[in-house]
Structure 1
Amino acid sequence: MIAYIKGNLEAVNEEAVIVEANGVGYEIICANPFAFQDALGEQVLIYTYHYVREDNQTLFGFKKTDDKLLFSKLLNVSGIGPKGALAVLASVRVEEFVSAIEREDDKFLTQFPGIGKKTARQMILDLKGKLPDGFAAVAVETAAQSSEAEALQGNNALEEAIAAMKALGYSEREVKAIVPTLKQEQHENPDPYIRKGLALLMK
C-alpha cells in the first residue's frame, strides 16, 4: 500500500496531478487537483489511497489525512465507488459531512452528484457512529453550532443583543451560557435582551 508520495509536482489537470519521485512519474487522481496548482514545479507531499482491482490500479490523492480517511470509509458504503467518494470530498469539508451523517441529514447528503435518497440513507446506516473519534468530536461541535445558528435565525433582536454583550467585553463562553435563558423571551428589539443578559451576567 502506498501511503503517500513526496516529489516534484510536474503537472496539474482537471482530474489528476503528476508527481515525479525518484525518476518515476505518478498520476494521482484528486477531488480538487487545482488545489495543488500553487505548488507546481515544487516539492509536494500527497497522501495517497492505492485502489486495487483485478483490472485496475489507481492512486487517489489528498492534501490531508482526514480527507484520505473519509474517502476510505466512503468506499465501504454500499453503492459508493471512488467516483462518488471523490464527488463528496470535492464538494464539502470533512467536518460538515460527518456532522450531516451524525444528525441523519439526508437532505444535505443528496446534494452530492449521484447521491439519491436511498444512497444517502445507506451512508447514514453504514457510517453513523462508526467514524473515528476525531471526526465524531468535530461533528458534534459543528452540529451544535449549526443548531444554535438555526435557533437564532429569524431573531435579529437577540443576535444584536448577543453582539452588544460581546462588545462590552463579555466572553463567548459567558454569553453562550445565558442564551438559553434569553431564548425563553420574545422581544422585537435588542434592548430588553441586553438588560436581561447583563443582569444574568452580573450575578
Structure 2
Amino acid sequence: MISYLKGKLVIKEPTHVIIDVNGVGYHVNISLSTFSSIKDQENTLIHTYLHIKDDGHTLFGFSHESEKKMFLNLLSISGVGPSTALMIQSSLSAEELKQAIASEDVKTIQGVKGVGAKTAQRIILELKDKIRKEGLYTEADKISSSSHNTLRSEALSALTTLGINKSAAEKSIDGILKNSGNTITLEELIKLTLKNA
C-alpha cells in the first residue's frame, strides 16, 4: 500500500495531479478541496489510497489525513465507490459534509451528482456516529481568485472530466460567473455548477 507521496508537483489540475518522486511520475486523482490546498505549492506531501480493481490500479490523494479518513469512511458504504466518494468531497466542503451527516440532512448529500436518496441515507446512517465522535476535518484553505477566462476553462475541464455534459456545464458556468462577479473561487464555481447540473 502506498501511504503517501512526497515530491514535486509536475501537473496540477482540479481533478488530478502528477507528482514526481525521484524521477517517477505518479498520477493521483484528487478532490477540489485537495486541489485548493496544494494549488500554489511546488513540492508537496499527498496522503494516498491505492484502489485496486481487475482493470487497473488507481491512486487517490488528499492534502490532509482527515480528508483521506473521510474518503475511506465513504468507501466503506455499500454503493459508494471511489469516484462517487471523490465527487461527494468535491461537491461539498469538509464542513458541509460533516454537518449534513451529523444533522441527518439527506437532501444536501443527495444533491451531489450520482448520489441517490438510498445512498445518501446509508451514508448518514453508517457515518453519523463516527462524525459525532471525532472531528474528521479541518477547514480547507480557500483558493485565490483567478481571471474569468482561466477560471472558466479550468472549471469546464474539471466538470467534463467528472462526466458533466460540456454544453450544459458551459451554460451553468457562464450563468454563475455573470452573477458572482470576481469574487468566486474555482472550487466554489465547480461546486455550484455540480449542484445545478
TM-score by length of 1: 0.61
Work out the number of aligned pairs and report it. Answer: 136
Output aligned runs, 1:103-114, within 5 Å. Answer: 103-114=103-114
Name the stretch that deviates more: 127-136 or 110-119.
127-136
- The equivalent of 2:52 in structure 1 is 52
Q: How many angstroms apart in 2 are the aligned matches of 1:136 and 1:26?
A: 26
Residues 171-182 of structure 1 correspond to what in structure 2 (within 5 A)? none
Map Cα deviations across residues 13-56 of structure 1 (whole Å, 9 max, x no partner): 343101001111100001126423322xx211111111112322
Structure-2 separation of matches of 1:26 and 1:132: 35
User: For residues 102 and 89 of structure 2, what CA distance do their matches in structure 1 show?
Assistant: 17
Secondary structure (helix, strand or coil) at the match of 1:46 reads: strand
Q: Is the 8 A contact 2:47 2:62 kept in 1?
A: yes
Contact 1:95 1:135 survives alignment (8 Å): no
Q: Determine the structure 1 residue equivalent to 2:40.
A: 38
Counterpart of 1:78, as a letter, is S
User: 1:130 deviation in Å?
Assistant: 3.0
Q: Look up the equivalent residue of 1:75 and give its one-letter code.
A: L
Is the 2:110–2:120 contact (alpha carbons within 8 Å) kept by the matching residues of 1?
Answer: yes
Q: Percent identity?
A: 40
The yes-or-no answer on 1:10 pairing with 2:10 is yes
Alignment partner, residue 98 of structure 1: 98
Q: CA offset at residue 60 of structure 1?
A: 0.4
Q: Which residue of 1 aligns with 2:26?
A: 26
Q: Distance in 2 between matches of 1:58 and 1:137?
A: 24
Q: Is the 8 A contact 1:50 1:59 kept in 2?
A: yes
Structure 1 residues 45 and 137, CA, compared in 2 at 3 Å: closer, same or farther?
A: closer
**CA drift at 1:62:** 0.9
In 1, Cα distance between the equivalents of 2:55 and 2:61? 20
Q: Which residue identity is paired with 1:27?
A: H
* CA spacing shift, 1:137–1:51, aligned 2, 3 Å: closer
| Inter-CA distance 132–24: structure 2 relative to 1 (3 Å threshold) | farther
What SS does the aligned partner of 2:11 have? strand
Partner residue, 1:64: 64
Partner of 1:180: none
Q: Which residue of 1 aligns with 2:126?
A: 126
Q: Work out whether residues 70 and 94 of structure 1, in 8 Å CA contact, stay in contact via their aligned partners in 2.
A: no
Query: How far, CA to CA, are the matches of 1:30 and 1:137 in structure 2?
Result: 16
Distance 1:127 1:110, change over 3 A: same
Q: Is the contact between residue 129 and residue 136 of structure 1 (CA under 8 Å) also seen in structure 2?
A: no
Asked if structure 2 preserves the Cα contact closer than 8 Å seen for 1:31 and 1:90, the reply is yes
* TM-score where L is the length of structure 2: 0.63
Deviations 1:106-144 (A, max 9, x none): 111111111121111111122121347322799xxxxxx
Amino acid at match of 2:112: F
Which deviations, in whole Å up to 9, do the C-alpha atoms of 1:147-187 show, x marking residues without a partner?
xxxxxxxxxxxxxxxxxxxxxxxxxxxxxxxxxxxxxxxxx
The answer to whether the 8 A contact 1:31-1:89 is kept is: yes
CA deviation string 1:85-108 (max 9, x = no partner): 011111222232122112211111
